[in-house]
């Protein structure tokens, strides 16, 4: 199969899982093991892929919570400055989206109970929803 035919086949196997405002979306595509993967896409942001759609959505919520960020240049284990500056709950939510972390790892990192970390993530999700709703009300799509 030629390169252009492979690209066309890949595009057909992809679909928009979730579409947000301002050109931000999550794209679902087939993974090599027959499951699905979810790629976060935003203007001027390299796409990240997640095996879990909830994590891709949480990543999008963090993105909106800090008014966008770029991970390029932060290194393999770095955190974008916009996320650090946003506060404890946003950083916790961001950590939850990273490979090899879960609510227990983040709770241990912060010295908190997992329930508190889940509340942090919930706050980020609520703020991101308010931001998107406010932008839609202003006609920003």
How far is it, in rounded angstroms, from Cα 7 to Cα 43? 21
Give per-residue pLDDT as tens, 2-56: 443 344 444 558 999 999 999 999 999 998 888 999 999 999 887 789 999 999 9
Q: What is the count of structural domains for the chain?
A: 1
Give this prediction's pTM: 0.84
Q: For residue 125, what are the domain limits?
A: 3-137
How far is it, in rounded angstroms, from Cα 60 to Cα 70? 12
Task: Dig out the tokens for 74 from the structure.
Answer: 């932060």
Give per-residue pLDDT as tens, 70-115: 877 676 667 888 999 999 999 999 999 998 999 999 999 999 999 9
């Amino acid at each position: 199969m030629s390169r252009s035919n492979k690209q066309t086949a890949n595009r057909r196997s992809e679909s928009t899982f979730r579409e947000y405002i301002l050109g931000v979306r999550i794209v679902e595509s087939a993974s090599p093991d027959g499951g699905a993967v979810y790629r976060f896409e935003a203007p001027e942001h390299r796409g990240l892929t997640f095996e879990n759609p909830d994590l891709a959505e949480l990543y999008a919520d963090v993105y909106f919570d800090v008014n966008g960020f770029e991970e390029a240049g932060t290194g393999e284990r770095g955190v974008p400055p916009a996320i650090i500056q946003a506060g404890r709950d946003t950083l916790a939510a961001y950590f939850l989206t990273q490979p090899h972390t879960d609510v227990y790892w983040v709770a241990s990192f912060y010295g908190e109970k997992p329930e508190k970390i889940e509340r942090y993530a919930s706050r980020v999700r609520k703020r991101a929803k308010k931001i998107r709703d406010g932008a839609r009300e202003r006609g920003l799509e």
